[in-house]
Copies of this chain bind each other. A is one copy, B any other.
Amino acid sequence: MLNSILLDGLALAGAGIGAGVAALAAGLGIGRIGSSAVESIARQPSESGKIQTAMLIAAALIEGVALFGVVVCLLIALA
């Protein structure tokens, strides 16, 4: 009984921290890309289409892993 409860506590704590760190990944990564993208558009407004495409590709790659990580933590939390 005690043990079962300890299991749940550790697992839930890890899931919560993991979900936060995965979100941090998206914040740091996409934040840096978006910051550079808006500055690049200001420097070369005529290339805003290409710049936005490259921004979206890189941001989508980060978004995919980060969301996958949060979903894994959600599965741990619901298990």
Contact = CB atoms under 8 A, between A and B. Distances in A.
Given A6-B9, A76-B12, A20 B51 contact: no
Interface string A62-79: 111111111011111111
Interface SS of chain A: helix
A30 B61 CA distance: 8
Contact of A30 (B18, B27, B77): B27
A51 to B, nearest CB: 5
- In the assembly, how many copies of this chain are there? 3
Interface string A17-28: 111111111111
B48 A45 contact: no
Contacts of A67: 64-65, 68
